[in-house]
Structure 1
């Protein structure tokens, strides 16, 4: 589920969560930092952001997160066209 499409913003959020994790657990060698950040902290941060931005309850924000981003049919069609154009361009460049 992607709620953030800007790679730089994703990296900034990851780095922030990594710093938070460092302060919380110190330097434990046995934890998989990447997995904790991506599987636990990032989804929780996104759910909290959805709750705040949409002004909804935590359970509603969790449901919204689990449903994934909502796209209109027009947006889906535009995305499909863009993907086809990119595939065609790649085919011509080979």
Structure 2
């Protein structure tokens, strides 16, 4: 589920969460830092951001997060066209 499309913003959030994790647990070799950040901390941060921005309850924000971002039909069609163009350019579309 992509809520942030700006790579710099994603990197900044990841680095921030890595710093938070470092302060919380130190530098344990046994933990999967990337997994904890991507599977636990980043979704929690995004849910909290949705709750704050949308001014909704935590359960509503969790449901909104689980449903994924909402794209219009026009955005979906544009994405599909882009994918087809890329496949045709690579000669993989039959």
Q: Do they fold alike, i.e. is TM over 0.5?
A: yes
The answer to which structure, 1 or 2, has the higher relative contact order (CA under 8 A, 6+ apart) is: 1
Structure 2 equivalent of residue 68 of structure 1: 68
Structure 2 equivalent of residue 12 of structure 1: 12
Structure 1 residue runs of 5 or longer lacking an equivalent are none
State yes or no: 1:24 paired with 2:24: yes
Give the RMSD, CA atoms, in angstroms. 1.3
| Post-superposition CA distance 1:18-39 (Å, at most 9, x none) | 0110011112221110110011
Give the distance between the partners of 1:66 and 1:50, measured in 2 at CA. Answer: 11
When the two structures are aligned, how many residues end up with a matched partner? Answer: 92
Give the distance between the partners of 2:43 and 2:11, measured in 1 at CA. Answer: 14
Give the distance between the partners of 2:12 and 2:87, measured in 1 at CA. Answer: 30
Structure 2 equivalent of residue 59 of structure 1: 59
Structure 2 equivalent of residue 79 of structure 1: 79
Structure 2 residue runs of 5 or longer lacking an equivalent are none
Give the distance between the partners of 1:62 and 1:13, measured in 2 at CA. Answer: 19
State yes or no: 1:38 paired with 2:38: yes
* Structure 1 residue ranges, 4+ long, deviating more than 3 angstroms after superposition: none
Give the distance between the partners of 1:81 and 1:11, measured in 2 at CA. Answer: 28
